[in-house]
Amino acid sequence: MLTQLVELLAGKENGLSLSEISREMKAQPSAVLAMLDLLVKKGKLIEIGPDGKCCTDCGLESECNLLAARGKRYVVSQSLK
């Protein structure tokens, strides 16, 4: 399923949100979130904000109103493209 998740995101230039991925994969959000967390830790995916910028770059992730309202999106790491 991890490969399927990476392949799904590889075709999405602007990434997908947790709910969009869950819907596409027909899987529970909690299961998808666990896979996303693992793939982010392994460097295969990157978390971005709704504005398209990498969440880990700005340092204000915990205080971000944009993330609170719209949530993170996930994209394939440039090293895998």
pLDDT band of residue 14 (cuts 50, 70, 90) is: confident
Q: Residue written as tokens 């590889």? A: 10
d(CA 77, CA 64): 22
Mean pLDDT of 73-78: 87
Whether residue 68 has pLDDT greater than 80: no
pLDDT surpasses 70 at 7 = yes
How far CA 4 is from CA of 33, 56, 64, 68, in Å, comes to: 14, 25, 30, 28
Range of the domain at 55: 2-80
pLDDT at 10 over 80: yes
Higher local confidence (pLDDT), 9 or 63: 9
CATH of residue 62: 1.10.10.10
Q: What is the pLDDT of residues 34-61, one digit of tens each?
A: 999 999 999 999 888 755 555 555 555 5
- Domain count for the chain, please give it: 1
How many residues would you count in the chain? 81
